[in-house]
Structure 1
Amino acid sequence: MGDLEVRDDLLPADDGEASLHETLVSRMRQLMIEGTLENGQRIPEAELCRMFGVSRTPLREALKVLAVQGFVQLRPNRGAIVAPIDPDQIQPIFELKGALERLIGLTAAERVTQEDLDAIGALHHELGAALELGQMDEYTRLNYAFHKRLAQISGNALLCETYEGLQQRIWRYRFVVNEDFSRVADSFSEHEQIMIALRAKTPLDLAARLEAHNRRTCEAMLRAIQQIP
């Protein structure tokens, strides 16, 4: 393993100022998501402490959080490892996320404001630009932000927190599969329909479009992961 480095350009943007604990969890999770810390690898605690300028105590507290989130496996007396990617977890994650997408659609369509429409519309425009330029890393980051913003429009903090946890797990899979470019283009077209339903403030239509989008993304990811040697 070479020198550890967190790529800030691939980090989903945080809202507001994060605490040291939250920042540590986020930075360590990013190392696992992008593969700097590889699946099954032993967590180099001493190196991470030097990298982040912290003692072992906050680092180990962060590892406990990451274990709950499914990114780390804690092994008594043997140290922690990066939890291996488990393809069998993809469908269950998306099934749960599909239920949340429906709830987001039902609530966001009723609570969306013009300010919300302007903000998410700007993200949608940026997504189109990234797709046109073939900037897939940027597209993935903006896609994450788009769906996070849509969840926030629901106005349900617990829903957003649960949804964010599932999105972070899915984000990790995106770094180990090569998504078909045609699927990315189809995904953007689906976003167009999502925006139409959101602007029209039609809850059932928005919920149905989000559920379908989630299902197609799951199917594409399952196909992609089957192609990994």
Structure 2
Amino acid sequence: MVHFPILVTSVTQTLSPTTRLRTLGMSAGIAARLRTMIEEGELPPGARIDERAFCEAFDVSKTPLREALKVLVSEGLVLHRQYIGYRVAPLDLEELRATFETLHGLEALAGELAARRLGDAAMAKLERRHQAMIDAHAAGRRTDYFRINQEIHQLIIDGAANPVLAGVYATLMSKVHRARGAANADTLRWQESHEEHEEIMAALREPGRPHLAQVLRRHSENTATEVLAVVARSLAEAGARDAGLKQSA
């Protein structure tokens, strides 16, 4: 993807009420799509946004796209800086590292509890979602794979039947979701994640599930290693780009 700066301006103030409502309706849909692309790694941290390319992809004019980008700026997903323009907001490496350290323990605890509490109906649903994930992997549908991957982890958390654990887990996962999406966009990690999920399912099928907690923790640690490496590279690249742009300005 070729990245160019975007200038986001308020251009709907002079439109008629009907046209403005139609534009805002379109921009909401565009914002939702861009938000998903950012959260699932299609638009990685630090990426420039090519306005012309997205207008062509969404088959829209600049007006609804710019309105959508203003929404994402207000949400903190897109940033604007002088000489740089608009780009996907970077991630905080140290906060991610601390969050993952906590998640490792939660994944293991969920495994211990789910080993005893996860019932037959939940296990059957896990089998179905795992097969759907295998199908997505075989077909190269990376975004679908990532979504189903998250659903499987959530089903295990639900199977632990501990609402406090579920609440803390949801809060922490919201902090790392975008970073996990960026790492899953990496082909090598995608394959490794697929193989690790096979190990998780094997541990779930095992009588008594004695290894589930250990397998889940190892998967979390491997994911964190790759995610933090991807984020560190993106921050370094963004810093180099910023320095180059400032020198040329």
Question: What TM-score range do you get, normalising by the shorter chain?
Answer: 0.5 to 0.7
Deviations 1:33-73 (CA, angstroms, capped at 9, x unpaired): 3699x98xxxxxxx68xx8xxxxxxxxxxx9xx89xxx89x
Question: CA, structure 1 residues 211+7, in 2 after alignment: closer, same or farther (shift >3 Å)?
Answer: same
User: What residue is the counterpart of 1:206 in the other structure?
Assistant: 212
CA contact (8 A) 1:110 1:201 kept: no
User: What residue is the counterpart of 1:33 in the other structure?
Assistant: 39
Larger Rg: 2
1:144: how far off? Answer: 0.9
CA contact (8 A) 2:112 2:212 kept: yes
Cα RMSD (Å) of the superposition? 3.2
Unmatched tracts of structure 1, length 5 or more: 11-28, 40-46, 52-62, 73-81
Query: Structure 2 counterpart of 1:215, which letter?
Result: E
User: What residue is the counterpart of 2:139 in the other structure?
Assistant: 133
Q: Structure 1-normalised TM-score? A: 0.65
The answer on 1:119 being equivalent to 2:125 is yes
User: What residue is the counterpart of 1:219 in the other structure?
Assistant: 225
Deviations 1:151-190 (CA, angstroms, capped at 9, x unpaired): 0000111111111122222111134556421221111111
Alignment of 1:42-57 (within 5 A): none
Unmatched tracts of structure 2, length 5 or more: 1-5, 9-26, 47-66, 79-87, 238-249
CA contact (8 A) 1:105 1:207 kept: yes
The answer on 1:105 being equivalent to 2:111 is yes
Secondary structure at 1:85 match in 2: coil
User: What residue is the counterpart of 1:92 in the other structure?
Assistant: 98
Query: Structure 1 counterpart of 2:155, which letter?
Result: R
The answer on 1:191 being equivalent to 2:197 is yes
Counterparts of 2:138 and 2:147, CA distance in 1 = 15
1:122: how far off? Answer: 0.7
CA contact (8 A) 1:179 1:221 kept: no
Aligned residues between the structures: 176
Work out the percentage of aligned pairs sharing the same amino acid. Answer: 29
**Which of 140, 148, 157 matches 2:154?**
148
